[in-house]
Amino acid sequence: MKPFKNALCKNAARLALVGLGCIALCSAAENDQAEVRVLCSNGIRVAVEKLTPAAEKAIGRKISIEFSASSILKKSIEGGAPFDLAILTPGSIDDLARNGKIVAGSNTTIASADLGVGVKAGSPKVDISTPGAIQQRLLAARTITWTDGGAAGTAIQTMLQTLGIQDRMQSKIVLQKLPGRAAESVASGENELVLAPVSEVSTVPGVELLGKFPKRFQSPVVMTAGISAQAKDTEGAKALVKFLTSAKAVPAIQSTGMEPAHK
């Protein structure tokens, strides 16, 4: 009986090892296939693109990202677009949370960017740090452009109204429907000035930051993360937020002209 029992034990041990091996392989395969789906505002696009390779290593998952204006992504989410994590303006995240699309209380501020004016690289530089100075430069411009529905739109309109030049500027305003197109049109010479968060100005080839809006008109654009109420990978989304708010993310965020919310 002893030889039979020994053989039986050996076979059982082999089967257990095979089973553990299968579990390990399946677990590895699941990790390889795991993907965090992100809908992200253009306001923080360059920083997120820079951080993605390191973030994927840190959280052990692939990250797929769709970039656009916050208002456009908000509409996509309201229409049922699948995602695990959204990085949008605070107002958009709050609205989506109230509508049950974002987990209430999951909102986390990632970074913010001041508003500024961009010109084609090599253009003459003038001071725009005071209301009078920026008014003079805007009135002298052939055209000014910004993203229609973008995060900076309301602050820009308020500034023009406060300066009392909105009517005089109407014929010079070119609203861009395609996110990212505003700064690119200045780089190509199609438009003269782009008004946008500095993170969407200083990171575009062929465009230079002329200066930031005067303090009176500053309304920093804040980027806030929120986790989907229907997330397939909630833990992955949480891990990504943790990475984006860690000290490791600070240099990349600051390099785009943004201020990290956590240092």
From first to last of its 263 residues, what are the pLDDT tens digits of the chain? Answer: 444 445 444 454 454 444 444 444 344 444 445 899 999 999 999 999 999 999 999 999 999 999 998 999 999 999 999 999 999 999 999 999 999 999 999 999 999 999 999 999 999 999 999 999 999 999 999 999 999 988 899 999 999 999 999 999 999 999 999 888 999 999 999 999 999 999 999 899 999 999 999 999 999 999 999 999 999 999 999 999 999 999 999 999 999 999 999 86
Distance, in Å, from the CA atom of 66 to the CA atom of 42, rounded to the nearest integer, reads 9
pTM for the structure as a whole: 0.81
Contacts 24+ apart (CB under 8 A), 150-154: 150/42, 150/69, 150/70, 150/71, 150/179, 150/182, 150/196, 151/41, 151/43, 151/69, 151/70, 151/89, 151/197, 151/221, 152/115, 152/195, 152/196, 152/197, 152/219, 152/221, 154/219
Q: Which of 133, 121, 131, 160 is nearest to 144 (CA)?
A: 160
Residue 192: φ, ψ to 5° = -90, -45
Q: Do domains 34-112+226-260 and 115-217 have the same CATH topology?
A: yes
Domain extents in the chain: 1-32, 34-112+226-260, 115-217
Say if domain 115-217 classifies as CATH 3.40.50.720. Answer: no
The CATH code that applies to domain 34-112+226-260 is 3.40.190.10
Burial bucket for residue 228 (CB in 10 Å: 0-12, 13-18, 19+): buried
